[in-house]
């Protein structure tokens, strides 16, 4: 078996996108799973910035990373919340060496029936 996951595009504009991600774990979890392929975005940008996050993470924790030779952990989420980075100019990709700058998810300490729901707004 595998975790039951989904990705839904809520809004897609020329330089902004809102995506919803869900996971109900069977206990196997996710490890650096590609969630946003920036080369597939309009205009094929080289980097994205996270504007806002709404999240509900139950039982496990969720690590959000930017893909580089050594992936950059941006956030570790647990519980419920809303994060708005617009006042600080959004949360940028640190542009470490190598990689793509894609956004990846890794679950931490998951067991069967743990779950997450994340809505992420990005811009480029």
In this predicted structure, the answer to whether residue 18 has a pLDDT above a threshold of 80 is yes
Stretch 61-69: mean pLDDT, rounded?
98
- 44: confidence class by pLDDT, cuts 50, 70, 90: confident
Assign residue 104 the CATH number of its domain.
Answer: 2.60.120
Number of domains in the chain: 1
The parent domain of residue 30 ranges over: 4-123
Instruction: Please check the confidence at residue 49 and state whether its pLDDT lies above 80.
Output: yes
The DSSP line for 4-16 is EEEEEEEEE-SSE
């Amino acid at each position: 078996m595998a975790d039951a996951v989904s990705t839904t595009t809520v809004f897609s504009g020329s330089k902004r996108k809102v995506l919803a991600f869900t996971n109900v774990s069977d206990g196997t979890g996710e490890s650096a799973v590609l969630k946003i392929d920036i080369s597939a975005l309009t205009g094929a940008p080289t980097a994205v910035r996270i504007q806002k996050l709404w999240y509900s993470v139950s039982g496990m924790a969720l690590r959000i990373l930017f893909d580089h030779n050594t992936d950059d952990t941006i956030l570790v989420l647990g519980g419920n919340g809303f994060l708005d980075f617009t006042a600080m100019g959004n949360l940028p990709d640190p542009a470490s060496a190598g990689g793509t700058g894609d956004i990846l998810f890794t679950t931490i300490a998951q067991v069967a029936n743990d779950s997450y729901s994340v809505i992420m707004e990005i811009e480029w």
